[in-house]
Amino acid sequence: MTHTTEQSGQPDARGAATAGTPQTAPAISVSGAYKVFGRRPKEVVKRLRNGISREQLRSQGTAAVIDASFDVQPGEIFVVMGLSGSGKSTLIRMLNGLNDTTDGSITVFGTEVVGLATSELRDLRRDRMSMVFQHFALLPHRNVLDNVAYGLELQGVGLEERRKKAQHWLERVGLAGWEDRLPGQLSGGMQQRVGIARAFAAETDILLMDEAFSALDPLIRREMQEQLVELQQELQKTIVFITHDLNEAMFLGDRIAVMRDGRIVQVGTPNDILTDPANDYVAQFVQDVDRARVLTAGDVMEPPRAVVPGSAGPRTALRTMRDLQTSACFVTTGARTLLGVVRDKDVLRQVREGGTDLTDVLRPTPSVVRADQVISELFELAVESPLPVAVIDEQDRLIGVVPRVTLLAALTDLPPVTTEIPVIEPLPTVTSAMITETLATTQTAASGNAPLVPTEETL
């Protein structure tokens, strides 16, 4: 478990974006970091360490960030979430030295940031970490193209090359044709696209995004979130994203750090935060979250039960469907690669006609998804077909199924996995007595008696 609690003392906020993946050197490592605004900040840190509360020390200074420890892995979107005043902006600004750190350590690709000279911090911001701000922070008298090229200009890239790169990024964010406009002539959403293009154009490994979408109206905001995820899939930047919006955090974050009153109270995947909140504060936060956009097929899937290998033959398939009281069965190769589905009626007919190759009655699987697809994408599929949605891995192997009832349970606070509840879906279209009789009579037929030829009525 990756989460931390206030009660458990030191946070265990290390770890890769995906559990089980090998650990690489973190892009950013924060250890015991404090930021106190006030006249005697070091003194306040000492007192905080001695157990005196932030509130008690208020007259001596504002403890904006208290004992923060976490790693951000390369290629990860690490979201810092919390209410206004919880310390998010202060923390992100400590990462690139816009705020100095009162105590503790912050390394970026192994280089200690705390204590760096102003000129070194400037180099760090220029070459390693770009920042996207809530209110865009564009240069008002430069046109859009030159705003995007600005970071490259600071890096000393020649005019020709930087304009070419800037043009490329403007196109990527959907602003081709707007090169010569001034920022003031653009809508908020478009200005933020310029900000994002500028950050990507600078080609830094790390992007810091401070409430980057918070000033945008909801539809544009959603669009920007989706575009960021799309770009990130391709570019694999390391992104630290600040937001006070839980749905945004859950949608974007590989992992999320929840801040409260200067402290990080939990670090975990969206699923951890949603299903295993570290305390009441986090639990209250997640109450209203749109679970369908957070939970994935992999989070809620169940072990597939109605499955037979294609080589097993129709009699086995029929028996399996009868025993599980279902009308359909997934068919896989011996290596569990999903081949399709068979239906009870078809297989019954096949057995009666003496057929032996199950793949002759194979139909395409109606709904197939990957484990990382969010469940909001499964509803339409679940409506279109009575079969559970099949979940496959990278090698097209069947790794789970999501029946409708599981999908519905996942939207509530019920535990998302419903294996305890018998899931009878889809319902059989022929009776088990009919199957049993067919198996028995065709068995006899197979052992030498006259074959029983079915009529339409008996099916």
Ligand X SMILES: Nc1ncnc2c1ncn2[C@@H]1O[C@H](COP(=O)(O)OP(=O)(O)OP(=O)(O)O)[C@@H](O)[C@H]1O
Work out whether strand 398-402 and strand 77-82 pair parallel, antiparallel, or are unpaired. unpaired
As a whole number of angstroms, the distance between CA 136 and CA 410 comes to 37
Residues making contact with ligand X (CB under 6 A): 37, 62, 64, 82, 84-90, 244
Host H or E run for residue 47 = helix 41-49
Q: Do 339 and 359 meet the contact criterion of CB atoms below 8 Å apart?
A: yes
- Nearest distance from C-beta of residue 92 to ligand X, angstroms: 8
- Nearest distance from C-beta of residue 90 to ligand X, angstroms: 3
Q: Do 218 and 249 meet the contact criterion of CB atoms below 8 Å apart?
A: no
Give the C-alpha distances (Å, rounded to integers) separating 214 from 65, 97, 245, 246, 248. 22, 23, 8, 12, 10
As a whole number of angstroms, the distance between CA 48 and CA 33 comes to 12
- Nearest distance from C-beta of residue 54 to ligand X, angstroms: 9
Nearer to ligand X, 83 or 453 (CB): 83
Nearer to ligand X, 15 or 82 (CB): 82
Q: Do 255 and 78 meet the contact criterion of CB atoms below 8 Å apart?
A: yes
- Nearest distance from C-beta of residue 258 to ligand X, angstroms: 11
Q: Do 132 and 239 meet the contact criterion of CB atoms below 8 Å apart?
A: no
Nearer to ligand X, 58 or 164 (CB): 58
Instruction: Find where tokens 């989460």 sit.
Output: 3
- Nearest distance from C-beta of residue 63 to ligand X, angstroms: 8
Nearer to ligand X, 261 or 299 (CB): 261
- Nearest distance from C-beta of residue 212 to ligand X, angstroms: 12
Nearer to ligand X, 90 or 167 (CB): 90
- Nearest distance from C-beta of residue 382 to ligand X, angstroms: 38
Nearer to ligand X, 88 or 221 (CB): 88
For 305, counting Cβ atoms within 10 Å of its Cβ (0-12 exposed, 13-18 middle, 19+ buried), the class is middle
Give the C-alpha distances (Å, rounded to integers) separating 58 from 41, 48, 54, 87, 264. 11, 11, 6, 15, 19
Nearer to ligand X, 88 or 193 (CB): 88
